[in-house]
Amino acid sequence: MLGGTKSLIRVTEAQNLNFWAELLSPKPQEAPSEEAVDDDDEMPKQIHEIKDFLLTARRKDARSVKIKRSKDVVKFKVRCSKYLYTLCVFDSEKADKLKQSLPPGLSVQDL
């Protein structure tokens, strides 16, 4: 009976070693799915000055501007290569002037 117990202990020790080896070995990182990769998921940055927003919109890496209007505020969102920059304008007249002063080559989308 004693011989049978030793073999069981050895198998258990081998299983235990395999378990710890698998647990401690580094796993390869899975590539994120295409649904999870989205440019707009990057952390946004808020711009507080109109002048800074216009300078950002004129940068080479600026791709597009989205304008979102609600009853209280107009949000201008410019997509650059790394960040999405947002400017909140509370005066609708200033928002209209800002829309007219955006660079002509930039795609503008009203939401």
| Residue-wise pLDDT tens digits, 90-105 | 999 999 999 999 988 8
User: Alpha helix (H) ranges present in the chain?
Assistant: 2-24, 50-57, 92-100
Angstrom distance (rounded) from CA 47 to CA 36: 26
| Residue-wise pLDDT tens digits, 12-42 | 666 666 665 666 666 565 555 554 445 445 5
Ordered structural domains, the chain, with CATH: 31-110 (3.30.720.90)
Angstrom distance (rounded) from CA 107 to CA 67: 11
For the entire predicted model, the pTM comes to: 0.61
